[in-house]
Amino acid sequence: MKKFVHTSADVYYKEMLVYNMHSLKHLHQDVLIHGPLDRFSAFDFENGMQYLKRLVRTNHAHLSQVVNRVSECSFLPLSGHKTSRNLLPLISEKPGDNCFLTKASEVCVVTKVLTDNNLECQVFKNSNDVYAYPCKSSKLSVRMVERLSTSRKVVNLSEIFKKCILLPCQDKFFSVPIVHT
C-alpha cells in the first residue's frame, strides 16, 4: 500500500495525492482497530454524494449552500403526521434515522414505528457531557451515551426534541443532533 501511494504521483499525477490517498497508508491500522472494512467504511454514503452535488449552485461556500438546501427540504412528515414543531424530520427504524433526543433529555433509539404517532424505543441508561468548556456539551444537545436499555418504551412524536445521529467511540456513542432539526 505504501509503495502504491508513493508511486501514484509518478504513474498518475500529483493532484491525486490528496488526504484520501494518504489515508490508504493507514488502512491496515484501521482494520486492526475496527475490524473488516464493511464495519467502518463510508461507502454506503458515497451514493448520497450525487444528491449533495446537485444542491450546490455556485463555486463558493459549498457547505453553506448544501446546509441551506437541506434545511429547505428537511421538514418531512412521518407518515403524514403533524407535530407541534411543524413537520417532524423523517424518523424510522433504519440506522442513521433511528435516534432522537426527547424533551426530557433522553437519548432514544427507535426499535419499531407504531401507529397513533408513537414509537417503540430503547433508551440509553448513561448520558453525560462530552465537554464542559466553554459550555456544557448538553446545552448543545451533544452527549456521550452508553448502556442501551433492554426494555422498550413507547414515545409519542410530541415528546421528540431533536433528531440525532450516533457516532461510535469505543464501547460508547456520541449523540449529536442533526443541525437542521
In 19-95, the DSSP E strands lie at 82-83, 86-87
The single residue listed with the C-alpha cell 451514493 is 47
Q: What are phi and psi of 133, to 5 degrees?
A: -120, 135
For residue 87, the model assigns a pLDDT of 32
For residue 53, the model assigns a pLDDT of 80
Closest CA to 175 of 158, 161, 163: 163
In sequence order, the 6+-apart residues with CB closer than 8 A to the CB of 44 are none
In 3-state terms, what secondary structure has residue 82? strand
For residue 117, the model assigns a pLDDT of 82
Q: Under a CB-based contact definition with an 8 Å cutoff, are residues 54 and 61 in contact?
A: no
For residue 37, the model assigns a pLDDT of 78
Binned average pLDDT, 10 residues per bin, the chain of 181 residues:
79 73 81 81 66 82 79 50 44 86 93 86 93 87 92 91 88 84 47
CA distance 176 to 4: 37
For residue 100, the model assigns a pLDDT of 92
